[in-house]
Chain A
């Protein structure tokens, strides 16, 4: 009996140590960025800013390059996500429900992109786009970001369609429901939340996609992350980058937390081979 409380106390200590260290190393830097966003004057070596305020929010949001980049990023993410849903969801349904030759091979072919170091593959794609004059164009960036969404948008919905209770569908069909009606009333409500999470993930992922946009899009296409790169490189007013970070990070955080809840931690790790 004496060993049990002792063991608990020891476990607690390592937990407290992990919690403190991780809070400092992971939350700490984000708090510093958030503080900068609401700072008007912060001169070295003061520990806290001399003056807090919202002045730089107005200035950042008043910049035309910020608005252009934001609109472009939203447009790109919307187009890529819609196209991806349009071509991937029917394919996911086919993979989950139909039999056709080469089905397993084709299903696992979406893993091909993971066999290569990612940026090397992007460079190889860019070399082809160079010949097709797609460099620096909207549709070039759309294509490269579309490829990035394929695996998510097929594998997650396939799992969703497979998880639908087939007996309910058959029961509905037995009482005379048309296939379309069955899909709309039985299949979609059950598979819907997971599919919605996949769509959300690919929207947010595309919104933050940096490497393809930078490699293929420059100089004509300036998305939000590309704009952030130039803010960081050119050492402009620190608060601009901080305000953009806070502004852009908060909604994606909420969206991703929601998506993770729907997909579930275990399945999430397994999708990455764990």
Chain B
């Protein structure tokens, strides 16, 4: 935050009285939108699900919608599949993206530039097109089946419409930002410290474990928080690629709100999602604010 504050302090002294109302006026509309359409809906969802109005118009403290969610088999199954998907995706993302980021950090030349361009490419592919490509490649009689058939192998059991469908799609979708965040964290690892460790005989694994990992642990947490926030309540990919039952919380909320016309139920599910993500959300916001301020 320091640079941001300093810049404003070092600005030429202007008469505060004349500037004050104009500045506030200029930022008023976007700030109002954030309060009305981000902060207020979150508060509203929490208050309307714990402070319910009954048929007589009396409102009272009432947790029955939560009691229903946590006793309903179907809701719990959906929550379980959401947690499972988020966990698997987070692990897979780390396993895939950390080697790519490490390679990109220490390699130079045209080949790494090509690898980096490929790793960032999914950012420019809208998830709706990704879903279509997924079905054409991994769906029944898709490209993978065609190629397996050509070499005389049996068809795959397609992940389309199974819990693995959203996992594959979400990992594909989240590779670019995970790689970029890890790479920017690796930028703070000095070449000298690695060379020094090598000189005293440390092998690649020990260099990674003792020198690199401690320095990028914060970036790993940021990358994980970002993907957890996105994946936990993702909608498009689980809706198009996942099974109808159990479904992830995203499609579940959408169906509860629009098809079952049950806003209280949908808001309860949303608040449950907020609850599971609150730590990641706060950590992520704090990290962005800090890196922005540097």
Contact = CB atoms under 8 A, between A and B. Distances in A.
B24 A101 contact: yes
B137 A120 contact: no
A111 B288 contact: yes
A125 interface: yes
Interface string A1-44: 00000000001101110110011011111101100100000001
B78 interface: no
Interface in B216-262: 219, 222-223, 226, 229-230, 232-236, 239-240, 249-250, 253-254, 257-258
Contacts of B271: 120
Contacts of B40: 128
Interface string A101-127: 111101111111111111111011111
A107 B149 contact: no
* B-side interface size class: 35 or more
Contact of A273 (B145, B147, B230, B291): B291
Nearest to A209: B126
| Prevailing SS type, chain A contact patch | helix
A27 B118 contact: yes
Interface string B141-184: 11101110110000000000000000000001001010011111
Nearest to B40: A128
Nearest to A46: B146
Interface stretch (B52-60, B61-69, B274-282): B274-282
A232 B240 contact: yes
Nearest to A224: B128
Interface in B184-200: 184-185
Contacts, number: 310
Contacts of A60: none
Interface in A150-181: 150, 154-155, 162, 166, 170
A123 B19 contact: no
B11 A99 contact: yes
A108 B27 CA distance: 12
Interface in A213-266: 214-215, 218, 225, 228-229, 232-233, 238, 241-242, 245, 248-249, 252-253, 256-257, 265-266
B92 interface: no
Given A103-B23, A126-B257, A269 B133 contact: no
Contact of A124 (B11, B41, B107, B180): B41
B136 A238 contact: yes
Q: Considering the complex of A and B, which 10 residue pairs feature the smallest CB-CB distances, nearest first?
A: A117-B233, A100-B23, A274-B181, A98-B23, A274-B184, A115-B281, A94-B26, A124-B41, A29-B133, A119-B233
